[in-house]
Amino acid sequence: MHRLHRASLFAALAALTLSAGPLGAQTSRRFGLRADPAVLDSAAVERLADTLPLRARVAQLVMPWIPGSYAAFDDSAFTVMQGWVDSLEVGGIIVSIGSPLDVAMKLNRLQYRSVLPLLVAAAFESGTSIRLTGATPFPSNMAVAAGGREQDAYEVGRVTALEGRSVGVHLAFAPVADINNNPANPIINTRSFGEDPAAVGRLVSAAVRGLQENGMLATAKHFPGHGDTETDSHIALPVIKATWPRFDSLELVPFRAAVDAGVAFVMSAHLAAPALASAPDRPATLDPAVMSQLLRDSLHFGGMVVTDALEMGGIVSKYGAAEAAVLAFEAGADLLLQPTDPGAVIEAMVTAVESGRISEERLDRSVRRLLRLKHRLGLFARRYVPLDSVPEVVGSGRFLEAARDIAQRSLVLAVDSLGSVDSLRSGRRSIALVTYGEDNAATVGGTLHRRLRDAGHRVTLFRLWPASGEASFDSARAVIRRSEYTVFAASVRVSAWKGSVGLPDQVAELIDRTMRRRNAVLVSLGSPYIGLQVAHLRSYLIAWDSRSLAEWAAARALTGEASITGRLPVSLPPRFPVGSGLQRAGRGWE
């Protein structure tokens, strides 16, 4: 059946072929790659939707996930991925973590195997380094917001587009448009630009423009807003109990800004919002009242709607992946993202069309939207990327300088009531550096340690882990007693399927006791909300993440080499409202 189907798909495409074109031929000669089977003009792209067989039209709207790591072309796992492309004939791929060259090589191969060009997406939140090892390590969205410049959000988007397109990615599942107005939110946190709707809207708009003006499609997510929840939708279905006036004045503001900026995609959230829904427990992804009436009719969004991952517990546990996909399409989705079994989703969708549950007219609207975007991206003329140009773009020095500048300006000194930070900045001290990390416990604080020592401080490093027992805490207390100052560096980060974000009680207690009795500074290398766990918080520097660049910036701030100028884009109640932040001048270059 697949051979006949593939033959008919080739025939449909061949009938519309204008020319392989000089660009395709040049690409083929230079990189040993096959020229695209067709270079279509916009009119031919419109006709293509009418000539594709039903199964091919359905398959265009399914986007499975693949790892970005290296794989031989005859590896069993790669064979499965290749089958999704050349047998199921999916319309797109979501690529995850890998080196830039491995990702580019893998995507070139899959593009080569696909009859129609693939739309390739990646979750490039806060830049490409979240997925591409060695790419420019921009700080989190919340850090960008702390720096206070819309241009920074644009620059992150711009560099993301250039780096992403160089490896063959066309669509960023970014920016996050959620407002993080709940400190207990276990899954959004620093992924958000903050809690002030107008400020978040401006930064979302800038990020969208930065991406799309430089060749990459953007996605505003997670509609209608995932910020006010204490449940991770990877695990269960969150319920947001806000009223319509609250949604209208808060959660929806950044999405309106994204639509006004011309965002190409909006991603749905697997959550229930009774004030917006057709039924109280209906997930937004599966509800036409949210995805069609609100998003398209009220917000006038004319782009493409993509589901959040269809493997997530927020919907799969109740509906199953295949039925959830059909329901999501009925609700208004165009692309069906990351199903566990792409073949089962295609079968379910074909059955729904053949039975009349989904009309062919409705199917064709989504197919046409997708093919137009592929044409707009130039994929019918050139779908491959040159491997030798990847190192010239990804992680280049000019991009790294921009990331350093943003990271430095993002630092927020929320409080320094006993002057511990000021004292560290004024001279060389004896410091106990006590670090805590979760999955990165063995490396967190390493750059901070080296930089403080290089500045002349006498530093003793002690690491705490999630599994640290009482003996470890006794040793930490002994190191603290022998030092004049203590710097706690804690990396607590958002992670899917974890369900919470925070310091273990024993770590928070150690920090609190030390703050009460000694000169101590807490440096957050992740969630800013860990400061709420320390009752006697007297010196608190927020560096937003545990990447080497963030620790480098924090060290320069603690040694006085750099200024501290950031302001909180979220509140840390009751002491620190939005906009809080002590300002300190640095003595080094800026």
Cβ-count burial 401-416 (b if 16+ within 10 Å, e if not): ebbbbbbbbbbbbbbb
Residue type, 89: E
Distance from C-alpha of 137 to C-alpha of 171, rounded to nearest angstrom: 19
Asked whether 43 and 380 are in contact (CB, 8 A), the reply is: no
Q: Taking the CA of residue 266 as centre, how many other CA atoms within 13 Å lie in the half-sphere pointing to its CB?
A: 33
Q: Which residue spans within 454-524 are E strands per DSSP?
A: 458-464, 485-490, 519-524
Closest CA to 454 of 580, 552, 355, 379: 552
Burial tier of 54 (Cβ tally within 10 Å: 0-12, 13-18, 19+)? middle
Identify the bridge partners of residue 283 per DSSP, sorted by sequence position. 272
- Reply yes or no on whether 512 is catalytic: no
Asked whether 249 and 201 are in contact (CB, 8 A), the reply is: no
Task: Give the active site residue among 102, 178, 232, 308.
Answer: 308
Sequence-ordered alpha helix ranges (H) in 87-123: 100-113
Asked whether 212 and 165 are in contact (CB, 8 A), the reply is: no
Closest CA to 457 of 476, 485, 422: 485
Which residue has tokens 């300002």? 583
3-state secondary structure of 584: strand
Task: Give the active site residue among 170, 234, 449, 457.
Answer: 234
Distance from C-alpha of 285 to C-alpha of 271, rounded to nearest angstrom: 8
- Reply yes or no on whether 308 is catalytic: yes
Distance from C-alpha of 243 to C-alpha of 309, rounded to nearest angstrom: 26
Which residue has tokens 């989703």? 345
Residues with a known catalytic role:
234, 308
